Amino acid sequence: GIEHGNQEYRNKMLNRKVSSETMLRGFECCVGRRYVTTGNTIIGMPEENRSLIFDTIDFCRQVPVGIELPGAFIFAPYHGTPLREIAVKNGYLPAGSICDIRNPRESMLDQPQLPIDELIGLARTFGLYQKLPKSEWKWVEKAERDTVEGREVFESLQREYNTVPSDARLDES
């Protein structure tokens, strides 16, 4: 699991002391094998903001071709975890709340720097940000919004995204 693309956040908040370079080397060792390797990420964790999410997107864009990148999962604040304690302490989640897979929106952290609607939009478009050239990101940002225009742009980009080979990584153009 990649979990987070920002090494400092990963070290401090997730207590994962592995460097980005080491993770990328690990993925490189898995390319061309007879098994599927995926790189899972999580967004919406305590103290995370849009910029940190884009650090994760940028990290994923460096992962070698041949590694499956499924997009981003939204953080679930399970009882007994240190990240949940941070979320409750900082008022991002009511203390008595329970993660409910039938209603995940109720389990999402509502942070001033990353409101739920923005988080959901970023999760929906995460794969597009991973795959499409940065020159297209202005359209992906429009697709984040849950509006008529945002949904139309999203559908258009999805058609374009689906024409990109699943193992392709596009450069900055």
pLDDT of residue 99: 82
pLDDT of residue 163: 53
- In this predicted structure, the answer to whether residue 106 has a pLDDT above a threshold of 90 is no
Q: Which secondary-structure segment (H or E) carries 30?
A: helix 20-30
In our burial notation (b when 16+ CB lie closer than 10 A, e otherwise), range 41-67 reads bbbbbbbbeeebbebbbebbbebbebb
Q: What does the pLDDT average to over 52-75?
A: 92
Q: What does the pLDDT average to over 156-172?
A: 63
Q: For residue 80, what pLDDT band results from cuts at 50, 70 and 90?
A: very high
Q: What does the pLDDT average to over 115-123?
A: 95
- In this predicted structure, the answer to whether residue 115 has a pLDDT above a threshold of 90 is yes
Q: What does the pLDDT average to over 128-151?
A: 95
How high is the mean pLDDT of the chain?
90
Closest CA to 74 of 20, 118, 38, 9: 118
pLDDT of residue 103: 77
